Structures are given as structure tokens and as C-alpha cells.
Amino acid sequence: MSIEQSLLARAGNKCELCGSEQDLSAQLVSPHSQLTVDTGVVLCGTCQPQVAGADADANHWRCLNDSMWSQVPAVQVVAYRMLKRLGAAGEGWAQDLLDVMYMEDDTRKWAETRSAEEDREPTRDSNGAILQAGDNVTLIKDLDVKGANFTAKRGTTVRGISLTDNPEHIEGRVNGVRIVIISAYTKKA
């Protein structure tokens, strides 16, 4: 049985946070680097992007009232992190749940440990949408490409971008050349 199948069996083929049965996938809980039954959770297509950093729909996360009591440490960690994020965004109910949440000491340390990627400011396009590695973007301005002697025209789609250490820059291929692009000159496609 694969790790993903083991996780789905543990979760009862449901999202371990909200209980949805749609668009399920196994997700690694940072700062671990290898997906195992102990370091992963099963999330639905609604929870996964929000856990990854997209804007959180506070009403959707009321489900944490139940999932925070899971016996699975990885689920507790994700629930804690989402409650912390919602509490910081001014959701009083999330802070109330955090105040009563119980975790073992090791699990709490894991929940409070952040990976270097999570500490980094998110990369945003011209409209403020968060960009992820692999996204497609469209240029909103003609850009002179130094060293390649061409201009990347407005409206050009850059597929499968990569993020850099600088949240203001992304990398992508234009006319077969890999270039660095200022993220403010793009919009998510």
C-alpha cells in the first residue's frame, strides 16, 4: 500500500480538516521533507490552497472546531496553524479555539516550527494575487530583456514560472530564453 493510499485509509477517504470527499490529495506538513503517514495529511481541493497560503475563507474554517481534536499530530499541526492565521486576521472565534486547543509538547513545537519557505514574503502579481511555482502568468507591460536583445511583448503568457528568493521576482521562459521578471509586471493567467 502506498503512502497516499495509507493516508486516505486513515482519513476514511475524506479531507482531514473539513470532511469533504471531493478532490483529495496527500500533503506534506512542513518542515518535514519526506511524505510519510506521520508527516502528511489528506486535504480537499478547497482546503489545500488555503493551507498553502491563499486567502482564507473564514467561514469554511469553522470546521476546525471539530478537526482540531483529531488524534493525528499532523492534523493537529495544520489545524493549529490555520487557527493561528485566522486569529491574526481578526477572527475572534479562531483565537477562542486556540485558547482551548490541547496538544502534546512535541506536537506544539512542530506546529510552531516554520520552514524557511513559510517565513518568506509571498510573491504577488500586479493585482495582489499570490503566485506559486508552476503558475502561468501574462505580461502586462513590454519588457526589454537585457543580454538577449529582444522585447518580451505585453500579453505574452509565461508558463510554469519558478519563484526566486526575492518575492518581487519570478523566473520563466520567454522566446525560449529563461529570464527573471518583476512580478509586478505580470498577472496570474
Pair 77, 22 in one domain: yes
Domain C-terminal end among 95, 116, 137: 116
Pair 34, 89 in one domain: yes
| Domain of residue 137, CATH code | 2.30.30.40
User: Where in the sequence is the domain holding 74, given as residue range(s)?
Assistant: 3-116
Residue 132 has a pLDDT of 86
If you average pLDDT over residues 151-171, what whole number do you get?
A: 91
**Per the confidence metrics, is the pTM higher than 0.75?**
no
User: Which tens digit of pLDDT belongs to each residue from 6-49?
Assistant: 999 999 999 999 999 999 999 999 888 788 889 999 999 999 99
Number of domains in the chain: 2
User: pLDDT tier at 116 (50, 70, 90 boundaries)?
Assistant: very low
User: pLDDT tier at 118 (50, 70, 90 boundaries)?
Assistant: low
Residue 96 has a pLDDT of 94
Half-sphere exposure of 119 (CA within 13 A, CB side): 7
Pair 73, 144 in one domain: no
Which of the two residues, 138 and 115, has the higher pLDDT score?
Answer: 138
